[in-house]
């Protein structure tokens, strides 16, 4: 894979998008853009579509970046400006193990996330919580992404669909060797 300067990273909650993207950005010496940080303001205040688009547009205007996130409201900006897309498409049991483990860890440690927000176990029943979101969206994305990627507006993207964590590790090793 040619490690171009504008890489969109997508996948279900819990796939490891942010961890992978942050590592890749360091290896490629370019900015890391985490869309969740634009969407979730202090006290979990959700950005409006206009705010999310403004923040994302400014962040992806640069020549070099790695951006992680799946927000449909900014897909045209991120995918349209990217020259590569990495899809972390792991099996549902692995995704669920990871997202549950991450939520438990965040709830126990109270480690701040975006904009000083913290995970609260009482939110786990919320349909928008990553545990439930991952369960629902996993199958939807497997059907939707291939269809979207066949569209002419995204024909410019070099797409790499990674099915196993070992593939992701190999990609990071290759990026490190290329850097």
What domains can be seen in the chain, in order of their start residue? 6-178 (3.40.50.300)
Average pLDDT rounded to a whole number, residues 101-116: 84
Taking Cα atoms as reference points, which of 8, 30, 3 lies closest to residue 87? 8
Average pLDDT rounded to a whole number, residues 158-173: 96
Q: Distance between CA 166 and CA 168 in Å, rounded?
A: 5
Cβ pair 95, 138 in contact under 8 A: yes
pLDDT for 122-153, tens place per residue? 777 787 778 888 898 898 999 999 999 999 99
Cβ pair 96, 134 in contact under 8 A: yes
Cβ pair 19, 98 in contact under 8 A: no
pLDDT for 7-66, tens place per residue? 999 999 899 999 999 999 999 999 999 999 999 878 878 889 999 999 999 999 999 999
- Token pair 């796939």 is found at 15
- Give the three-class secondary structure for 8: strand
């Amino acid at each position: 894979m040619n490690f171009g300067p504008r890489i969109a990273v997508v996948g279900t909650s819990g796939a490891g998008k942010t961890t992978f993207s942050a590592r890749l950005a360091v290896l490629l010496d370019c900015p890391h853009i985490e869309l969740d940080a634009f969407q979730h303001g202090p006290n979990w205040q959700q950005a409006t579509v206009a705010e999310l688009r403004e923040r994302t547009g400014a962040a992806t205007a640069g020549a070099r970046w790695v951006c992680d996130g799946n927000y449909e409201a900014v897909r045209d900006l991120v995918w349209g400006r990217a020259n590569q897309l990495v899809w972390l498409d792991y099996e549902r049991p692995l995704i669920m193990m990871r997202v549950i483990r991450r939520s438990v860890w965040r709830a126990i440690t109270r480690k701040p996330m975006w904009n000083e927000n913290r995970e609260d176990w009482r939110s786990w029943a919320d349909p928008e919580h990553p545990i439930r979101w991952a369960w629902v969206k996993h199958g939807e994305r497997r059907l939707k992404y291939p269809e979207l990627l066949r569209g002419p507006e995204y024909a410019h993207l070099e797409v790499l669909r990674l099915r196993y964590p070992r593939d992701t590790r190999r990609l990071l090793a290759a990026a490190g060797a290329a850097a």
